[in-house]
Amino acid sequence: MAQEPLIKTVSKVDQWIISIGHKISLVFLLISLIIVSEIIARYIFNSPTMWIHETTIFLSSLLFLYGGVHSIATNKHIRITMIYDTLSKRLKYYADLFITIMGIIYSILMIIAAFAVAKSAIFMPWGAFHLETSGSAWDPPIPGLVKAFLLIIFIIMFIQYILHLLILIKRKNND
């Protein structure tokens, strides 16, 4: 039987992320309904739309990005469970500490990269606000919005890892 990791859903940020995640998971149902409506419009009424494909990709992209912070909030991120479950409580603490510090480093590097990507997708080279568009016939600003959301997600991820680090340190001092 798998043992519980030392970090559980402990911070208010984690609880907030999980709460939002339960609500927005219904968007997957909406995406399915949109796709079914497109199939009906295209094959029964011979009246395809030009917005369905990009809209469903956009919504799915946002949900998958949100899944990253949700997995950290629920402590379901990448861990080699077969090895982790065999560790003593002390070694689990150090494994969690290592994972958390690596997560902080990763999120800092990703914030730097996502900032550069988001900046170029949100602003013109001379500084004027203009969201990058898809270039399709519909041409929505989906790429600009997704890249901005990516930056926000990595900032939230960084905050989560910092909070988890503080909780780990606090628990170590209380033991």
Q: For the ranges 7-11, 146-150, 167-171, which has the lowest average pLDDT?
A: 7-11
Q: How high is the pLDDT of residue 7?
A: 52
Name every residue whose Cβ is closer than 8 Å to that of residue 155 and which is 6 or more positions away in sequence.
111
Q: Output the CA torsion sign for 141, 144, 150, 156.
A: negative
Burial class (CB in 10 A: 0-12, 13-18, 19+), 168: buried
Higher per-residue confidence, 171 vs 112: 112
pLDDT at 1 over 50: no
Number of residues assigned to the chain: 175
CA 133 vs. chain centroid, Å, equals 22
> In the chain, where are the structural domains located?
12-174
**Which residues are within 8 A (CB) of 73 and not within 5 positions of it... i.e. 6 or more apart?**
9, 13, 14, 15, 17, 18, 21, 160
The predicted pLDDT at position 79 comes to 73
pLDDT in tens, 116-158: 999 999 999 998 999 999 999 899 999 999 999 999 999 999 9
pLDDT, residue 11, reads 86
The confidence band for 10, taking pLDDT boundaries of 50, 70 and 90, is: confident
Please state the separation of Cα 12 from the chain's center in Å: 17
pLDDT at residue 44 tops 90: yes
Instruction: Output the CA torsion sign for 26, 31, 32, 36.
Output: positive
* Residues 6+ positions from 172 with CB-CB distance below 8 Å: 93
Band (pLDDT 50/70/90 cuts) for residue 13 is very high
Q: What is the mean pLDDT of residues 70-86?
A: 85
Q: CA gyration radius for the chain?
A: 20
| 3-class DSSP state of 89 | helix
